[in-house]
Amino acid sequence: MKKIIIAAAVLLLVCASAFAVYEQQRVVDYAGINVGMSYVYDTYKVNDSEVVDKAGQLGIGVTDFTFFGDTNLGLYVEADILITLKDNNENNNDDKSPIYADLGLGLAFKRDFTKNTLLLGGVGLDFVYFSRQNTYYYWGGHYKVERTYVTLGVAADLEIAYKLGRDVYFSLGAKGNINFAKWMTTDSTDYSAWGEHSSSQITDTEGYFGYKITPKVSFYLVF
């Protein structure tokens, strides 16, 4: 809970500062779409046993770099939807592959290399949401478990953008995430000859650490 409060306070401070600058300065906005392939690594403990999860993901998203006036500093926002293509967690018996929602918020920076080439970057907080559905069978019935996860971490985005035409850029880059907090909501329903029973609980995931690396390509429009 303390980590959530700290993260919220940082976001409020960044947004308040950006709004104050926005009211006084001309705004230059790089808004684009991106496609990337991610490698995900997570490790945590369940019932004193270590779980290691390695996955490959395909994602599509939107990215926005907003700069104020003639400065090279601004705001960075990225929202992605990622589909798991391959999951090497042998502890999972998923009914379907999880879909991830990833949101990054932070500070942006840029640097011009040449007339047509520039560096775009962002550093900030990162939030990931996803769920897993599992079915377990036993004599006399079965039960389904849906676990919903929320992770908190930091992210950095770095891209080289090339100007294709007036206000249109193509970029190659990568985004890296390091996640250090993970919360899990478990909803389970037991189906048996004695009836249907449901339960729910929210827990911190003990000993969690994870990271994600995402090479990507993007197209930007400048407003």
Q: What's the pTM?
A: 0.79
Instruction: Output helix, strand, coil percentages for the chain, rounded to the nearest 5.
Output: 10, 75, 15
Whole-angstrom Cα distance, residue 184 to residue 160?
A: 37
Which of these, 205, 166, 154, 165, lies nearest to 184 by C-alpha position? 205
Read off the pLDDT of residues 8-61 as tens digits, 9 standing for 90 and up: 555 555 554 555 455 456 789 999 999 999 999 988 776 677 878 888 999 999
53-67 burial code (b ≥16 CB/10 A, e <16): bebebebebebbbbb
Read off the pLDDT of residues 157-170 as tens digits, 9 standing for 90 and up: 999 999 999 899 99
What is the count of structural domains for the chain?
1
CB 122 within 8 A of CB 154: no
Read off the pLDDT of residues 50-79 as tens digits, 9 standing for 90 and up: 878 888 999 999 999 999 878 899 999 999
Q: Residue 95's pLDDT is what?
A: 47
% of residues, the chain, pLDDT over 90: 46
CB 91 within 8 A of CB 125: no
Q: Output the domain CATH number for residue 125.
A: 2.40.160.20
Range of the domain at 211: 2-222
